[in-house]
């Protein structure tokens, strides 16, 4: 059987991750697909620091990328958690959403114990050593052989442009064809399938399956095939970001944080992503509540006097997804398929998921439609899962200092699935069973209206594919959920919060076992010592 032809239109992290992963996953042992990628030299490359989730490790393993070499090539640093600052009251408070936690055995009653206490210690610090390890600025890896108990789960911060370049090098060396051409025309057949693209230089590139990685331009999935974009801005108000890079040569804060920071400001929040040579910052905000000029000024004030003349870039975006991510013989991956703001680092993850699902559902011996139906159901469910989780970060705030924070907690800004979850979790804390079929009291049992899940009107299902009940606990309890209910049920004079012995023992040993993050980076992957610069 002749290999099927895949043409990826558009490069960047999404396009080249798809090329490298599909080649590794499908062509191992036999030639299943011929993969080509065409990207326009006219499209400017926009790079920001990228934060990932631990799923990135699957991508790296399948493509056969060595972790150390990966970190060297992409200015990579470790990410063990997201630290949320000023989200609850706007008065300097914070909490962590880490990747590792201790689980009591055989029955984990950590949340019940914490809720019955005076809550004087943040919940995640009672079940995970990672928040304090992060606050101490320690690496999740030792310099020598590991002897520190269960491994600490981590993801990465990286330079997205360098990641794309590295994947380009790997993919093309393994047989992926690369065209630096501007696509000027898309040809379609009588049945609506895409048959080929033509380039400005006159090349005609045919394929059996086309992957749209053209970002918000959506050249194939929208402009050619007309697949609608479903808007999520009712629940997520932010639509712009102003970004800057603060190079360590200009200002080195004296450390490299082993986590991502999300600090709430007047009309949104700022990400801080540390790399080996720079810090990437981005103020994600709603243009309905602050102007671009004022957002830029607020970001500069947040960073400090050294950022007065640092260059910035305004990046508009829209939150939502395609009605179909896979339509006819075209699959949208990356921004062309949808986007939910970067609060929990899901941008690259959604490209990762779509690529992995395409490899798993690739139509080797069948027509595309059955595979497309399942692919679309999985991707749609995951988008709803992410929407719920991100929406929750906002609606639980108790801030009322600006119009923006007053708006995000209004009932109409909370989607009905999340409302059902929150009402149910007032009756009992989240648990694994809540994600078995995801039908909770108060959740709508009517079919979705046409267009919400085209051709499949069943209620979306949160399968906890990305965040389970433990992740929900991190956000809920970090945002003081059930405060009033606990006062009513257990009284206000409750016993002090206790730390598990296992957490205390690990924290005592951590400074002796784990080096500071910057020291690990200097010795293991060659980061420059900016303290001596």
pLDDT in tens, 48-73: 789 999 999 999 999 999 999 999 99
Q: Does residue 113 fall inside a structural domain?
A: no
Provide the CATH number for the domain around residue 22.
3.50.50.60
Distance of CA 215 to the CA centre of its chain: 16
Q: Does residue 364 fall inside a structural domain?
A: yes
Q: Does residue 305 fall inside a structural domain?
A: no
DSSP state of 496: P
Q: Does residue 84 fall inside a structural domain?
A: no
Higher-confidence position of 366 and 130: 130
Distance of CA 371 to the CA centre of its chain: 25
Please say if 426 is a catalytic residue. Answer: no
DSSP state of 381: H
250 contact partners, CB below 8 Å, separation of at least 6: 306, 310
| Percentage, residues of the chain above pLDDT 90 | 88
Is the pLDDT confidence value at 45 over 80?
Answer: no
Report pLDDT for 49: 86
pLDDT in tens, 351-386: 999 999 999 999 988 789 999 999 999 999 999 999
Q: Does residue 192 fall inside a structural domain?
A: yes
Where does the pLDDT of residue 290 fall: very low under 50, low under 70, confident under 90, or very high at 90 and above? Answer: very high
C-alpha closest to that of 127 among 160, 104, 144: 104
Where does the pLDDT of residue 423 fall: very low under 50, low under 70, confident under 90, or very high at 90 and above? Answer: very high
- The rounded distance, in Å, linking the Cα atoms of 320 and 350 is 12
- The rounded distance, in Å, linking the Cα atoms of 21 and 275 is 24
Provide the domain limits for residue 204.
Answer: 4-76+158-229+322-382
Number of domain units in the chain: 1
276-302 mean pLDDT: 98
Where does the pLDDT of residue 455 fall: very low under 50, low under 70, confident under 90, or very high at 90 and above? Answer: low
pLDDT in tens, 221-244: 999 999 999 999 999 999 999 999
Pairing of β 268-274 and β 278-285: antiparallel
Where does the pLDDT of residue 314 fall: very low under 50, low under 70, confident under 90, or very high at 90 and above? Answer: very high
Is the pLDDT confidence value at 42 over 90?
Answer: no
Catalytic residue among 31, 79, 421, 426: 79
451-467 mean pLDDT: 75
Where does the pLDDT of residue 461 fall: very low under 50, low under 70, confident under 90, or very high at 90 and above? Answer: confident
Residue 146 burial (CB < 10 Å; 0-12/13-18/19+)? exposed
Q: Does residue 190 fall inside a structural domain?
A: yes
Mean pLDDT of the chain: 94
**Sign of the dihedral through C-alpha 468, 260, 137, 527:** positive
């Amino acid at each position: 059987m002749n290999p099927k032809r895949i043409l990826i239109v558009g490069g960047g992290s999404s396009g080249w991750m798809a090329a490298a992963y599909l080649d590794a996953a499908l062509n191992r042992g036999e030639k299943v697909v011929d993969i080509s990628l065409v990207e326009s030299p006219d499209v400017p490359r926009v790079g920001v620091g990228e934060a990932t989730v631990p799923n990135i490790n699957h991508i790296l393993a399948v493509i056969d990328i060595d972790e150390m070499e990966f970190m060297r090539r992409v200015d990579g640093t470790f990410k063990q958690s997201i630290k949320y600052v000023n989200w609850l009251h706007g008065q300097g408070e914070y909490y962590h959403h880490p990747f590792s936690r201790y689980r009591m055995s055989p029955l984990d009653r950590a949340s019940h114990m914490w809720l019955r206490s005076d809550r004087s210690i943040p919940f995640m610090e009672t079940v995970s050593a990672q928040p304090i390890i992060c606050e101490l600025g320690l690496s999740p890896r030792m310099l020598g052989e590991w002897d520190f108990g269960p491994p600490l789960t981590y993801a990465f911060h990286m330079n997205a442009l360098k990641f794309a370049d590295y994947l380009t090098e790997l993919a093309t060396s393994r047989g992926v064809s690369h065209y630096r051409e501007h696509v000027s025309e898309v040809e379609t057949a009588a049945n609506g399938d895409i048959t080929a693209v033509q380039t400005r230089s006159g090349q005609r590139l045919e394929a059996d399956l086309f992957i749209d990685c053209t970002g918000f331009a959506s050249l194939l999935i929208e402009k050619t095939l007309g697949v609608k974009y479903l808007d999520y801005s009712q629940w997520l108000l932010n639509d712009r970001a102003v970004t800057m890079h603060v190079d360590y040569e200009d200002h080195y804060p004296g450390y490299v944080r082993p986590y991502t920071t999300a600090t709430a400001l007047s009309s949104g929040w700022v990400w801080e992503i540390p790399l080996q040579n720079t810090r990437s910052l981005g103020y994600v905000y709603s243009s309905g509540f602050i102007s671009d000029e004022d957002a830029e000024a607020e970001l500069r004030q947040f960073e400090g006097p050294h950022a007065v003349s640092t260059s910035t870039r305004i990046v508009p975006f829209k939150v939502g997804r395609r009605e179909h991510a896979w339509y006819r013989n075209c699959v949208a991956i990356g921004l062309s398929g949808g986007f939910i703001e970067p609060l929990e680092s899901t941008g690259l993850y959604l490209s990762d998921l779509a690529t992995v699902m395409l490899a798993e559902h690739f139509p080797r011996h069948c027509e595309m439609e059955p595979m497309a139906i399942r692919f679309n159901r999985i991707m749609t469910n995951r988008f709803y899962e992410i929407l719920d989780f991100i929406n929750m970060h906002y609606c639980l705030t108790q801030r009322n200092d600006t119009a923006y924070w007053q708006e995000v907690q209004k009932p109409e800004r909370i989607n009905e699935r999340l409302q059902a979850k929150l009402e149910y979790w007032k009756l009992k804390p989240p648990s694994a069973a809540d994600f078995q079929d995801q039908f909770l009291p108060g959740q709508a049992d009517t079919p979705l209206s046409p267009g919400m899940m085209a051709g499949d009107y069943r209620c979306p299902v949160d399968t906890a594919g990305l965040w389970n009940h433990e992740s929900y606990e991190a956000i809920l309890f970090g945002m003081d959920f059930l405060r009033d209910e606990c006062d009513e049920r257990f009284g206000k004079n409750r016993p002090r919060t206790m730390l598990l012995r296992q957490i205390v023992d690990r924290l005592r040993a951590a400074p002796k076992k784990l080096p500071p993050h910057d020291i690990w980076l200097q010795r293991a992957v060659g980061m420059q010592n900016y303290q001596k610069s």
